[in-house]
Structure 1
Amino acid sequence: MKKVLIITLMLCLSATAFAEIRLGALFAVTGPTSFLGNPEKLTVEMLVDQINDAGGINGEKIKLFVYDTQGREDRAISYFKRLATKDRVLAVLGPSRTGCALAIKNLAIRYKVPFIACAASATIVEPANAFIYKTPQSDIHVAEKLFDHLKSKGKTNVALISAQSGYGATGRDAVLQNAERFGINIIADEKFMDTDKEMTAQLSKIKDKNVDAVICWAAGAAPAIVARNAKALGMNNIYMTQGIASRKFIELAGDAAEGVKLTAGRLIVADKLDDTDRFKTMLMKYKTDYESKFGGSVSVFGGHAYDAFGLFAAAVAKSGKDPVKLANELQQIKGFMGTAGEFNMSNSDHTGLSKDSFIIAEIKNGEFVPAE
């Protein structure tokens, strides 16, 4: 009888220990892309605290496991395996970079652990798989939004300068493959390495072709160098992507940031939106919560994590702690209002956004504002 009581007690303690929702996260918290991963980590930690303080999901608290990839693919692979096998998480948020997300795709499928990436490339979710999702708008949406804007301004002769990285390469493909159908002529196509410290040679070639505008497709410190080099050459009409949608770019580029336009979610101009904008209340709550807790400015990169966590929470509330059911719930989400836009997932679309989720922003007097 005593032995039965001991076994029963052990089973009860075991059940109690796992009466929680185990969630993993892989972010580039330190290293050269910490401007992506650190706000993502802080955002998810804040949201987990908020939801746990409110009683959790279906009465269960979330236990969060966060690992720092430093933006490295080998670390993303190693930590994903740890999350899946040792930590036994239900799902993983992140990684921060496209290369890291691509590196763990097959692992997510093998271990049947869904992940919601905070990286942008469409190749992450193509072809669609029930265990793989992402929250940033895809390259094609960026290209389409840029082309629409350029065409409306009569700027049809355009140059492209892109980073030789996962993000830059897939962005370059999106531009080159879709420009013609929008009536945009790509008359220069230059590249640089993410680690390059000078892009004057490439920009000088572009300047000689007398283009209407320049699209720079890159993230990290490199776009700030492009902006400074372009300013030194007297070049205007520089367009970039959400890869620069944080104050870090403005700090790095200095006065060369002035006048740069970019595709971005509404978050970076949340306080400048009209009060009738249906996203404003949600965006301002996130912005206020984040900035009051951590100081500094909210960024779209933290917003990607905000959306990833929101999608996870919405799906797990219906699926319970079954990863296969969770994966199926994720691809059925409709009308989810996130910082990047309205998410409408399907079996074939695991981003669920369109070009309409973007705005064109401009940097004026050191601030992001909606472009005219």
Structure 2
Amino acid sequence: MARFAKYLGGAALLAGAAFAWTTTASADTIKIGASLAVTGPASFLGDPEAKTLEMYVAKINEAGGVNGKQLELVVYDDSADANKARTFATRLVEDDEVVAVVGGSTTGTTMAMIPVFEDAGIPFISLAGAVVIIDPVKEFTFKTPHTDKMACEKIFEDLKARSLTKVGLISGTGGFGKSMREQCVSVTGDYGIEIVADETYGPGDSDMTPQLTNIKNAAGLQAVVNPGFGQGPAIVTRNYKQLGIEVPLYQSHGVASKSFIELAGDAAEGVRLPASALLVADKLPDSDPQKAVVAGYKTAYEEATGQPVSTFGGHAYDGLMILVDAMKRAGSEDPKAIRDEIEKTTGFMGTAGVVNMTADDHLGLDLTAFRMLEIKSGDWTLVE
């Protein structure tokens, strides 16, 4: 079993609550790194990601490691602070000398780290959502979650199937919310969607009633889409019910965890969102080719942590397994050789779906990887 050591020191101590830990098994190891939002406002992302990486690195090491060596995982907690993330990215490269990185809980921290890893030639598999991470394609940067653009397209597909075309937007102004809003606006013409109201809210806002009132009064309103993550969407959902808005409300995959339902309470009833099959693992038919993977991860995570599974930990699982598979195929610890094999990933069944990467696609997922879910009686259900 890997040995877990926590430490505070140097710049990490000066940064405040930032800290790092490593999992090591022997002196003869392969170092991989992560900078995650383990604490702070995006801890609902980073905490399950960190737990997943720790758990599966231990499992991999128990099974013999990679290419005859044990993995050593170095994790920094950036608390979703882009400046801290960039500092930790530099430390992972210069001090820790990692050969690859799986991490970046948010779009903001990911974008801050990308130049560091690209300059150093270190493969980086991000766990954040915005399409700008991999579009345009960057040589050493990949990602595992579905993009914000894909989320817009999946939502608009569902709206079109329901003959709902006049939509109001209420978006967070953070990196993910801003990016997804832009992506939604950019693809409206492909689905015949008309934006009849367009409102935003800041990360510290605790009442979105004024914005939602404006949306409620928009002429012809038929549905509302909320690009965002964190507590903001839960507040939007509660205010939505308080105002008695009766048209359908759609959230993004940025709220695909049980904590959103808990924060939104009864107001979450009927909310729809695109997400991976992981949230409905136990509801998938046995014939579903993804069931074994998502059910296996869900069981392992919940037994190990005592916490409900979220898609965010699943993104870390996918990233780690894609990396490990690439390292095995490369038979090398050379970052460039590992990068080349990550880019050749095909037919990989992950918690997000089937991954087929190419030189022009450093995500490798299509819309079939998304499932449309609806919250009913405090739980996720599949929309048929």
Q: Give the structure 2 partner of residue 217 of structure 1.
A: 227
CA offsets per residue over residues 55-108 of structure 1, 9 Å max, x none? Answer: 011211101101101000111011111111111111111110000000111111
Q: Secondary structure at the match of 1:174?
A: helix
Work out which of the residue numbers 351, 355, 361 in structure 2 matches 1:343: 355
- Structure label with greater radius of gyration: 1
Q: Give the structure 2 partner of residue 281 of structure 1.
A: 292
CA distance in 2, matches of 1:93, 1:69: 14
CA distance in 1, matches of 2:166, 2:26: 62
Q: Give the structure 2 partner of residue 203 of structure 1.
A: 212
CA offsets per residue over residues 312-348 of structure 1, 9 Å max, x none? Answer: 0111112210001111111111111111111111111
CA distance in 1, matches of 2:196, 2:327: 48
Shift of 1:204: 0.5
The 5-angstrom pairing of residues 353-364 of structure 1 reads 353-364=365-376
1:303 aligns with 2:314: yes
CA distance in 1, matches of 2:307, 2:111: 31
Tell which has more relative contact order, 1 or 2 (C-alpha 8 A, sep 6+). 1
Q: Secondary structure at the match of 2:179?
A: helix
The 5-angstrom pairing of residues 1-372 of structure 1 reads 19-209=28-218, 210-236=220-246, 237-319=248-330, 320-372=332-384
CA distance in 2, matches of 1:215, 1:354: 21
Unaligned runs of 5+ in 1: 1-15
Q: Secondary structure at the match of 1:149?
A: helix
CA distance in 2, matches of 1:123, 1:105: 11
CA distance in 2, matches of 1:173, 1:154: 23
Q: Secondary structure at the match of 1:363?
A: strand
Q: Secondary structure at the match of 2:52?
A: helix
**Moved runs in structure 1, 4+ residues, more than 4 A?**
none
Unaligned runs of 5+ in 2: 1-24
Q: Secondary structure at the match of 2:292?
A: helix
Q: Secondary structure at the match of 1:330?
A: helix
CA contact (8 A) 2:26 2:70 kept: no
Shift of 1:130: 2.1
Q: Secondary structure at the match of 2:114?
A: helix
Q: Secondary structure at the match of 2:328?
A: helix
Q: Give the structure 2 partner of residue 13 of structure 1.
A: none
TM-score (norm 1): 0.94
CA distance in 2, matches of 1:324, 1:183: 43
Q: Secondary structure at the match of 1:179?
A: helix
Shift of 1:181: 1.5
CA distance in 2, matches of 1:355, 1:235: 29
CA contact (8 A) 1:224 1:252 kept: yes
CA distance in 2, matches of 1:256, 1:247: 14
Shift of 1:18: 5.3
Shift of 1:17: 6.6
CA contact (8 A) 1:158 1:187 kept: yes
CA contact (8 A) 2:355 2:365 kept: yes
CA offsets per residue over residues 272-310 of structure 1, 9 Å max, x none? Answer: 011110000111110010101110101000011011101
CA contact (8 A) 1:130 1:328 kept: no
The count of corresponding residues between Structure 1 and Structure 2 is 357
CA distance in 2, matches of 1:20, 1:317: 14
Amino acid at match of 2:302: E
CA contact (8 A) 1:117 1:134 kept: yes
| Percent of matched pairs sharing the same residue | 43
CA distance in 1, matches of 2:46, 2:107: 12
Amino acid at match of 2:222: D
TM-score (norm 2): 0.91
Q: Secondary structure at the match of 2:363?
A: coil
CA distance in 1, matches of 2:287, 2:352: 17
Shift of 1:127: 1.8
Q: Secondary structure at the match of 2:211?
A: helix
Shift of 1:186: 1.2
CA distance in 1, matches of 2:263, 2:148: 24
CA distance in 2, matches of 1:113, 1:158: 42
Amino acid at match of 2:240: A
CA distance in 1, matches of 2:200, 2:265: 23
